[in-house]
A and B are shown apart, each in its own frame.
Chain A
Amino acid sequence: MTTTAPTTVPAGTGRGPALLAVDGLTVRFRLRDAVVHAVSDLSLDLHPGELLAVVGESGCGKSVLAHALLGLLPRNATVTGRARLHPAAGEPVDLIAVGERHLARQVRGRAIGLVPQSPATALTPVRTGRRLLEETLRAHGHPRRAAADAAERVAADVGLHPVDLDRYPHELSGGMAQRLATALALAPDPPLLLADEPTTGLDRPLVDHTLDLLRRRCDTGAAVLLITHDLAAARRVADTVAVMYASRIVEHRPTPDLFDHPGHPYTAGLLDALPDRAFTPVPGHPPMLTDLPAGCAFTPRCPRTTDACHTTPRLAADGGGRLACHHPLTPGAPA
């Protein structure tokens, strides 16, 4: 079920205030003898009803983004920049500046739901699905009586049979566990959902089911940030796709545009690697995040490199999207 992607452009153009406005987000990890540049100067806006997919190779920093927004980074991380969350009801809050107490009480679970990567390990093994759901609902203000009904309703939403609700997590199949984890994230009805590789290890039908759940959530007004390495998944459900490479967003545009007319040579290379396209890899390796080259990090692997590429290209508006490249591919031109 691919809904028509809105024609509105990703960052900062119209459509009222963004639900999530990330501005200049930078995350560094200090190591004993190196600094990991996990996220660099990342900006993006996410509006209600929008599903934004962040795609990229493993180790490009995309997962760190999700953890930074939830304040779940380890102690040796330094985060700068802003990430303002504007819930429809309530005061806007800067997720980076606000303290752990506020995040724990007001944000995680309530304002931002997290669909975890491996549901089998994310679920408490000693509670049945029903108890997990009811506890979550009660923690978010449902009275006891209402929680029981609401639990069944949320479960039905994600396609869980009431009988399966009375099983313990280890008695559930991978797919059912994923549905339960999703139900738990959806139960408090958060306006923003973060899904961090929610489909790893699931088979196609389950992948599609999980993705469709997220899509349906968007269609009822929530915003979803989907982090994935799976381009097919992004293509199926995302309104806009942001491509991350070596800690930076290099391209961000509406899904059909990105898949049909990539502007960044890296995006083009990634698309060419798909089995239903050229099936040829991008040559070379991504750089280590501890040792990023000066200028455009894709330079060593890029066929279009010139001297200009030694300065970092700015992520600038480009034909309905955003692009950070000195020598973009023009639509229709060969890569």
Chain B
Amino acid sequence: MTTTVDDPTGPPDSAAVTPTGLAAHQITVHFGRQRVLDRVDLHIAPGETVGLRGPSGSGKSTLARVLALLHAPDSGRVALDGRPVGGVRYRVPAAVRTRVAILFQSPRAASDPRLSLADLIAAPLRATGTPTAETTARTAELADLVGLTSDLLTRRPHAVSDGQLQRACLARALAHRPDHLLCDEATAMLDASTQAHVAAVVTDYQRRHSAGVLLITHDPALLARWATRVVDLPGAAVDPPARPPTR
């Protein structure tokens, strides 16, 4: 357990207190005129599971995308082990990129429909130039880790169930052995059994790699069971739109 203050108005320099792990400092994000995140601090230490809770539209997913270095905040910064990360999306250095992974709510939306499950899992390895033999071996290892049988690996996303596809997405997220995994409602669409399975794989991985996990969920039972501590995001003042605003 860490002593980070996860108060939106907390001190901006909490990185100095907690050098290891993934931290967001004073993150502010606007969509159009609407302020989605307002000076939010969050810190995920190695080995802990931070539950993130908040009403719909309080910016939980946006915070996860900021932490995953996929969205540039309007102000504030993300730091890994105390060092600020420069750049987002394509501009993140490979050494940093491979240390943070994200698992989305809808496995279907998060999978390229053209790729087989094996190619899906191998994609991050190929993207970083892993040798073919190693990629093949690692893919098999990852598939085994999440409990996907080899006959499923040749299928494309439309030919497997949501549960099976989310397992493939989890394998893909773990491909680089990240030390931070951000689960954005990753089990909300899954049945109880698949949810428990995904949770078991993540907890096991977390223990072996002392990885930090961010758990975004609406389910109080899941938070109670899994999170080592829970952070509340205050709700947005206005009821947000049903669909995210397009740019």
Contacts and interface: CB of A to CB of B under 8 A. Distances in A.
Do these two chains really belong together in a complex? yes
Interface of A: 55-59, 119-120, 169-177, 200-207, 229, 231-232, 269-271, 273-276, 279-282, 285-286
A207 B56 CA distance: 11
A165 to B, nearest CB: 14
A206 B195 CA distance: 21
A229 B189 contact: yes
Contacts of A175: 56, 239
7 closest residue pairs by CB, A with B: A281-B197, A59-B161, A273-B196, A273-B192, A275-B225, A281-B196, A173-B239
Contacts, number: 109
Contact of A274 (B57, B162, B194, B221): B221
B176 interface: no
A37 B225 CA distance: 36
Interface of B: 55-57, 105, 147, 149, 152, 161-164, 185, 188-197, 199-200, 218-222, 224-226, 239-243
Given A201-B188, A203-B218, A279-B225, A273 B193 contact: yes
Contact of A232 (B56, B152, B221): B221
Given A203-B55, A275-B224, A231 B192 contact: yes
A279 B196 contact: yes
Given A57-B161, A204-B219, A279-B225, A173 B193 contact: no
A169 B241 CA distance: 9
A279 B161 contact: no
A258 B147 CA distance: 29
B149 A285 contact: yes
B188 A200 contact: yes
Contacts of B152: 285
A200 B225 CA distance: 21
Contact of B224 (A206, A270, A276): A276
Contacts of B222: 275
A207 B218 CA distance: 10
B241 A173 contact: yes
25 contacts: A56-B191, A57-B163, A58-B191, A169-B242, A172-B242, A173-B57, A173-B239, A173-B241, A174-B242, A201-B188, A201-B189, A202-B218, A206-B56, A232-B219, A269-B193, A273-B191, A273-B197, A274-B196, A275-B219, A275-B221, A275-B224, A276-B221, A282-B193, A285-B149, A286-B161
- Most A CB atoms within 10 A — which of B105, B185, B191? B191
A271 B55 CA distance: 27
Given A232-B219, A275-B219, A276-B225, A173 B188 contact: no
Given A173-B241, A275-B219, 5 more contacts: A56-B191, A174-B242, A273-B196, A275-B221, A280-B196
A276 B220 CA distance: 9
A245 to B, nearest CB: 11
Contacts of A56: 191
A174 B56 contact: yes
A89 to B, nearest CB: 36
B193 A281 contact: yes
A169 B243 CA distance: 10
Contacts of A274: 192, 196, 221
A335 B213 CA distance: 32
Nearest to A57: B191
B241 A200 contact: no
- Most B CB atoms within 10 A — which of A170, A206, A270, A275? A275
A58 B163 contact: yes
